[in-house]
Amino acid sequence: MNGNPPFIPPHVGVLSSLDSFRPFTGAEAKVVAYLSSGNFDRLGDGLLPELEDDTRNMRAELLRFLILGDNSYRSHEKGVRVSGAWITGILDLEGCRIPRDIGLKDCRFEASPVLQSAIIDNLFLDGSHLPGLQADRLEARGCISVRGAIVTGEIRISGARIGGSFEADGVSIASPEGIAIEASGLEARGGILMRGADIKGGLNLSGVRLGGDVNAVGGQITRPGEIALNGDGIVAGGDLALRGAKIMGETRLLGARFVGDIDCTGAALSQPGGHALRLNRATVEGAFFLRQGAAINGTLDLTATTIGAIDDAQESWPKTGDLLLNRCQYGAFIGGPVDAVNRLDWLSRQSPDRWRADFWPQPYEQLAMVLGAMGHDEDARAVLIEKERLQRRARRARARNPALRIALAITDGILAITVRYGRQPLLALIWLVMFWAIGAVVFDIAEGQGAVKPNSPVVLRSTEWTMCGLDQSSNRYMPSSSQVLAGRAMAGENQLTCFLRQPEASSYPEFNAPMYSLDVLLPVLSIEQKEFWRPDPTKPKGAFTLNYFFFQSIVGWALSLLAVAGFSGLVKSK
């Protein structure tokens, strides 16, 4: 021991004064000389240095001293502003309170700046080259800006509180650890701006609270096979703007809430074989835009999502099997197809069996409700009919008993062609009209062939009817009168025609084929044609006419009951 006090480097312990850092490099001397005036200091040409030399080099320890100041030295109220510096060592401001701006633009850092739990005004690192940034729990009264910066590691701002925005427009980040920006739990009155950014690695924005937008317009985020953008639980007072963005990897926004829009206009979201965009349980008070060449290569998951409106283009829809819309609710279509044919094509891109389900009725009901609210009632009905068809098909597939499946298939087929599963009960009236017309023709032909007879035992036992069954050259003994009487039918005349020209038949009700068909078809009506006439199976075509009589009676009952059930909603699936 020589008795002299040990040497303590100026960055260790308490720094007594600015003189502790002497001798200065040329760059340091210039900064010290001009910093107190508040002028913006440029070292060299002020651009990002490519080589380390005396005119650019600054020690991080000295820079820390200038930022913090002490009784012997106090920087200008504008704060430290340096551009074009080569900063050696670690700029460690963890836990510091700095009531001024820090402006280190176009600087090259040898080590990641450390601002964890610090309190500052604004932080400007625009155009700088950094190995990373450690700013967890940072409190900034203004913004954090890394616009145009080149970052070769991770930016950490999780739990930070920002009075303005996190500005990363044009930034280039390559994180070998997989996460490029760790911002979970961030709170900002502004937004997160990454316009034109090139980010190789993931973004963790889970639990973020923003007053503005998440804006990555024209940006590129690359993390294939992993979660590229994690926005679970994010609450933003503005938009999620991904116009023209390219994201390779999953974009996940489970339970997120955006007061504005989610705009994927012209975006390319790619996660082949996985989820390209997940908005499960998310709430979008504005609109969801998917148009102008937007491409979804992977699954678009809108399960239980609430959206104010949808503006999409058919060419931007995911391919079949890559769309999930179960329990998704939306208010209107403000762009894209609004007809049943195209929107049913949209719904058909769901594949419930891929997700171990047989059918999801809610997407069809939601679509029908929206189309109806927009005034497209016919399209809404067509959607509900298709929903019924698919839902009943799924029900038949679940039935294990073959006989039950056949019975369900027959029932569903009848309901489909008669009342469209109860969605078009008036269709039963068309079927009734058709069978009425067919019956009128059948019964008119039967009358012409004499295959219709009075439906009265008295008439059938009468002399007039009996003798009309014989031609005029024949005779028959009639026990009722104990006489032999001659036949009354002329050559080629049938029994019915002969009877109708008898004077005694003038008081009998006339046969009317259309009215007879209507009387047979509608069980609730009583036109009294059936009471006086019926098919005669003993005559040519009589057997067919009688069988058709029974068939039309059954059809009339069935169609009448189906029409009533259709109007009452009894045949609709619940």
Q: For residue 499, which of 513, 512, 515, 488 has the smallest C-alpha distance?
A: 488
Please count the CA atoms within 13 angstroms of the CA of 21 that sit on its side-chain side: 21
If 0-12 CB within 10 Å is exposed, 13-18 middle and 19+ buried, where does residue 338 land?
A: middle
- Judge contact between 195 and 216, C-beta under 8 A: yes
Cα angle 128-252-345, degrees, rounded to a multiple of 5: 130
Q: What is the DSSP letter of 19?
A: G
Cis check for the bond before 23: say yes or no (omega within 30 of 0). yes
Q: Which regions of the chain are under pLDDT 70?
A: 1-16, 36-40, 70-76, 480-482, 570-574
- Judge contact between 177 and 155, C-beta under 8 A: no
Look at residue 321 and give its three-state secondary structure. coil
List residues bridging with 166 in a β-sheet: 144, 192
Fill in the amino acid letter for 330.
Answer: Y
Pairing between β-strand 295-301 and β-strand 220-230 as defined by DSSP bridges: unpaired
The dihedral through the CA atoms of 281, 286, 290, 293 has a sign that is: negative
Phi-psi region of 177 (alpha: psi -120 to 50; beta: other; left: phi over 0): alpha
Long-range contacts of 423-428 (CB under 8 A, 24+ apart): 423/381, 423/384, 423/385, 423/388, 423/566, 423/572, 424/381, 424/385, 424/566, 425/562, 425/563, 425/565, 425/566, 425/567, 426/563, 428/559, 428/560, 428/562, 428/563, 428/566
pLDDT of residue 76: 67
Cα–Cα distance for residue pair 224/199, rounded to 1 Å: 12
Cβ–Cβ contacts within 10 Å for residue 45, how many?
10
Kindly report the backbone phi and psi dihedral angles of residue 254, in degrees, each rounded to the nearest multiple of 5, phi listed first.
Answer: -70, 125
Cα–Cα distance for residue pair 203/182, rounded to 1 Å: 6
Q: How far is CA 513 from CA 132, 440, 442, 448, 536, in A?
A: 94, 5, 8, 10, 15
Fill in the amino acid letter for 348.
Answer: S
Q: What is the pTM of this model?
A: 0.82
Q: Which residues are CB-contacts of 522 (< 8 A; sequence separation ≥ 6)?
A: 432, 556, 560
Cα–Cα distance for residue pair 236/289, rounded to 1 Å: 17
pLDDT of residue 70: 67
Biggest CA–CA distance in the chain, Å, is 168
List residues bridging with 532 in a β-sheet: none
Tokens linked to 243: 């116009």
pLDDT of residue 250: 97
Cα–Cα distance for residue pair 61/25, rounded to 1 Å: 13
Q: What is the DSSP letter of 185?
A: T
Pairing between β-strand 452-454 and β-strand 533-535 as defined by DSSP bridges: antiparallel
Cα–Cα distance for residue pair 21/58, rounded to 1 Å: 11
Cβ–Cβ contacts within 10 Å for residue 301, how many?
26
The string of DSSP codes covering 353-421 is GGGT-S---HHHHHHHHHHHHTT-HHHHHHHHHHHHHHHHHHHHHH---HHHHHHHHHHHHHHHHHHGG
- Judge contact between 43 and 56, C-beta under 8 A: yes
pLDDT of residue 68: 87
Tokens linked to 240: 């999620």
The dihedral through the CA atoms of 34, 111, 157, 117 has a sign that is: negative
pLDDT of residue 82: 92
Please count the CA atoms within 13 angstroms of the CA of 59 that sit on its side-chain side: 17
Q: For residue 323, which of 355, 358, 299 has the smallest C-alpha distance?
A: 299
Cα–Cα distance for residue pair 141/121, rounded to 1 Å: 5
Q: How far is CA 458 from CA 6, 118, 531, 532, 533, in A?
A: 142, 114, 13, 11, 13
Please count the CA atoms within 13 angstroms of the CA of 418 that sit on its side-chain side: 23
Q: Which residues are CB-contacts of 368 (< 8 A; sequence separation ≥ 6)?
A: 380, 381, 383, 384, 387
pLDDT of residue 31: 86
Pairing between β-strand 295-301 and β-strand 268-278 as defined by DSSP bridges: parallel
Cα–Cα distance for residue pair 378/385, rounded to 1 Å: 11
pLDDT of residue 16: 55
pLDDT of residue 3: 45
Phi-psi region of 528 (alpha: psi -120 to 50; beta: other; left: phi over 0): left
Radius of gyration, CA atoms only, the chain: 44
